[in-house]
Structures are given as structure tokens and as C-alpha cells.
Copies of this chain bind each other. A is one copy, B any other.
Amino acid sequence: MDQPSFAPLTPTAFLARAAHVHSERTAVVDGDRRFSYSELWTRARRLAGGLRSLGVQPGDRVAVLSPNSHLLLEAHFGVPLAGAVLVAMNLRLHPQELAEIVTHSGSGLLLYDSSLAECAVEVAKLTGGTLRLVESAASGDSGYESLLGSAPEFAAPVDDERSLLSINYTSGTTGRPKGVMYHHRGAYLQALAMAFHTGLQPGSVFLWTLPMFHCNGWCFPWAVTAAGGTHLCLRTLDAAVVWGHIEHDKVTHFNAAPTVLTMLSDHPAARPAPNRLTIATGGSPPSPTLLGKMAELNARLIHLYGLTETFGPAVICEWQPEWDLLPADEQHKRKARQGVGNVISGGLRVIDAGGYDVPADGVTLGEVAICGNNVMTGYFADPEATAVACPDGWFRTGDLGVLHPGGYLELRDRTKDLIVSGGENVYTIEVEQAIASHPAVSEVAVIGVPDDRWGERPAAYVTLREGASAEPAEIIDHVRQRLAGFKAPARVEFGPLPKTSTGKIQKSVLRQAAWEGRERQIN
């Protein structure tokens, strides 16, 4: 009698249902290729069978390197259906960084899109040559398709809904790669929450502007599938292409950081969408200017907040219908708040150094802490970092904010170590380490500075060694050879660094100067 009322929560169940309910509807469009839900379900199970035939065992990690594509979408179902663990990697990372992730996660297999073949081969070389490679080509003629063509359909049962579903890598404050572990239960519930809050439906067309490798696309590979909507893959973010899809392909939903939205709304092709758009945005608060522009373009913005560790948006600026009556500038202020826990989230607190809740007065600053089903089980193979991040069951975000009367969170400052640039996280420490490896550099401090296009970008303050010399461009190039391009500093300034009497570098002094005249130190 345990059976009827207990089915383990797993996001692959949404595809099983969609294949039944929405079998003939187009599930995914990727260039010239399109698959129905019935086909996607078959392909996902064949991928699972294919992985097993390649020797992938339950719990094994399978890495994927791909832009938004049918490959990466299929991997979100096929890898867990094999009983394996999905490691979707950020294609903007440097091959050396990717190799570290492959090694740290212990991935023995890499599925990659042919556009990244060179990088995949380099990663395989850097990891010692044991990494097995499977290529998927947009043409449809590739090792990946051969694998699917010959594999039996397979679907491993999920015995424990809190078992490992995926690992999403973030570099974090230590500069070492940290693998955030997602479980089936959390992804299932987070996907339901996303579908509910953004109003996804069978007729929805979801445009993949957000990279699927960011927090598993904030769980939208599963949310859109739960609703029976259509995934419209976008391999590169080109504003003209985005507007073309909105104009011609009945797009109803997409997700993007405010910097991306600014780029889109400023583009000459921008015009009011024929279908009302629902856009989930996060990473930084949308500005009043942006809110105004998006309203003119027939788009409704949902402001969300979360971290890799919280399956993406654990927090939503849930709009109160009563706020429609407020003056526009007050509405904009409300919309810029990060908000409250989403419908399936657990607790959201803002706490002081002693661990006590700060008053909800809109003034008192504290650290944001989150608990619930959409919090990671921990960092992969890193119990120490896990214990630091979740010392008492509450995940410490490192972000600083206030609670307004009414309980809505507003971020005021990031952890001093994090820069969010164009929706990508950059930890200052990794940039500092890269710069410090330059022979001319004696000391370095990196901070985030406001940037009109990217929200924030890293800026480096460098003291050179006695007698050494270097140009800013040389330092920037040095970083680019080691890290993803978006991590390279926007500018490098040379000179002595401000320090405390005990010799500690005072980043706060640098930040104050860089952010002068702004209400928040976050953009």
C-alpha cells in the first residue's frame, strides 16, 4: 500500500506527462530541427539508454558543453533518466576552468555541441585524455545522433527524491570551483513554482535567451515542459534575432538579466510585442527607465532573485494588485525589490552578525539567509565549504539587504567578493589571483564598478613590483588567457592601495569612490 500515494518527485515526470498529454505539440525548436513532446520523450529515453550503453552508471556525472540547444534540453531529461548527474557547464569559461570542473566533478563523459568542438578537445587534453567525448551537430549527423539511433529506451527509477540530479558550478568566494548539488525534489518543486508564478500554459512559447547552463536554466527546462509549452532555443543572443522570434513565433515568455533587456529595448528592431510578453528578470534590479521601456514593448516584468545554491529564483518580487494604484515612481521602487519567498520556498531572513533577524524597517542591513526545498544539499565533495555556507540549516547568501515593512527584501549590497556582470557571476578573488600571477604585479584589489551596459564589471587596482612596468592592456590580456572573457577587468589602475593601519587592503574605500552618488552598491 505504499505505492498509490507515493511517487518520488522528479522533474523527468513532467516530460513523461507532456509526452502523453501534449504528444504532438512542438516541444523544442532549435534552428531547422524541431521535435514534438512525443519525440523529445523518446530521444531523452534513448539518450539515457545510450549513456548506459557507454558504461555510465547510476550516480556518474555527465558533463555537457553546449549553447541553448536540443542537446542541452535533452540532457536535462536524459541524463537523470540514466540515473546519472548532469553537469551543464558555462561555455563562456576558459578551457582551463572547464577542465577544473570536469576533474572536480569526476565527469567521465562530455556531450558537446559541434560549435564548441575545439574547446571540448582542449578540455579533454587538459584533463589527461581519459574524458570520453560525444559530439552533437546542428546538421543532425553526429556521434550523438548515432548514439540515440542505436540505443534502447531507458528510464531509471528514482528511489530517493533527494538524490543528486545535477551539479552546477560556481567559483564562489574561495576561487576554487564549487559544485552546487541539486536534488530531484527541489528541481520538481522549483519548476512548479516557476510555471505557476510566470503563468506558463500549453500555448506558451518560451524563448531561451537565458543560458540553460545557468542554474539549469533556473529550472525552466522542466517548468516549460510541465506546462506543455514550446522551447524555442537561441544559440547566441542577438537582439535582431530575438525581436524576429517575438514578431513571428508567438513568443510569450523569456528570462533575461536587466542588462540584456536594456540591450534588447535599445535595439532598432524593438517594437511592441504582438503577444503580451512575460519576462522574468534577475541579477540586478530593473531600473525605472527599463520598466517604462518594457511596458511600452507590451512586456510584463517579473523581478526574481536567487543564487545557484537556491535553484535560481527562490525569491520573487510578488506584485500586489493593490500596488497598481500607487504613483509610478513608487511602483518602480516596489518592483526593484527582490521580494519574498516563492510559493514553494521555505524561509527567507535578513540576519545580523549574531544570527538574529533585523527589524523590517527598510533601513537595517543584514545578510540574506534562505532555507527550504529549493536549497542545495551542499557543495559536491566539499563538506567544509558546505558547513560554512549552511552552518545551521540556513544558507547564507553573502548578499546584504534590508526588509521593508511588509516583509519584502531589498538588496543593498553584494557580498564584497561578487560582481554580477551581464548576468554572469564573477568572484573578485579569481580575478585577483589571475592578475597576481603576472610577474610585474605586487599587490592587487578587484572590485565591481557600475557599468551602463553590463550592470557591473570588474575593475582592478594594482601596485607593481619595484622596477617593474606593465600596461593595463597587458594585465587584461593576461587575465583573458586564464579566465572567461567576462571576468577580465574593464579597467586597470596603477598605484598604491588604501590600507588599514594593520596593513589590510581597504576595498571599501575603493568601492566608495567608484559608487559615489548611488543609493545602492549594486547595479
Contacts and interface: CB of A to CB of B under 8 A. Distances in A.
Interface stretch (A83-91, A99-107, A370-378, A413-421): A370-378
A364 interface: no
Interface in A326-374: 340-341, 343-346, 370-374
A376 B4 contact: yes
Interface core residue of A7, A185, A228, A319 (most chain B CB under 10 Å): A7
Report, nearest first, the 8 A-B pairs whose CB atoms are least far apart.
A3-B393, A203-B321, A4-B375, A7-B346, A21-B340, A5-B375, A196-B196, A4-B371
A46 interface: no
B393 A21 contact: no
A407 B321 contact: no
Nearest to A340: B21
A213 interface: no
Contact of A394 (B4, B372, B373): B4
B371 A318 contact: no
Contacts of A386: 1
A343 B224 CA distance: 12
Identical copies in the complex: 2
Contacts of A20: 340-341, 407
A309 to B, nearest CB: 9
A1 B320 contact: no
Secondary structure at the A interface, as helix, strand, loop or mixed, is loop
A25 interface: yes
A7 B341 contact: no
A98 interface: no
B406 A23 contact: yes
Interface residues of A, number: 59
Contact of A376 (B5, B227, B392, B393): B5
Given A5-B186, A5-B376, A23-B406, 9 more contacts: A4-B370, A5-B375, A6-B185, A21-B407, A25-B322, A192-B192, A202-B318, A203-B321, A227-B343
A403 to B, nearest CB: 10
Nearest to A195: B196
A14 interface: yes
B196 A373 contact: no
A25 B407 CA distance: 14
B186 A393 contact: no
A406 B227 CA distance: 17
A321 to B, nearest CB: 4
13 contacts: A3-B371, A4-B371, A4-B394, A5-B162, A14-B343, A20-B407, A21-B407, A22-B320, A23-B407, A25-B320, A196-B196, A202-B318, A202-B321
A511 interface: no
A276 B195 CA distance: 21
A36 B371 CA distance: 26
A13 to B, nearest CB: 8
Contacts of A373: 5-7, 9
Interface in A407-457: 407
A473 interface: no
A343 B17 CA distance: 8
A241 interface: no
Given A20-B407, A407-B20, A4 B390 contact: yes
A183 interface: yes
Contacts of A376: 4-5
A211 B67 CA distance: 51
B340 A7 contact: no
A120 interface: no
A226 interface: yes
Contacts of A318: 21, 202, 228
A51 to B, nearest CB: 25
B320 A183 contact: no
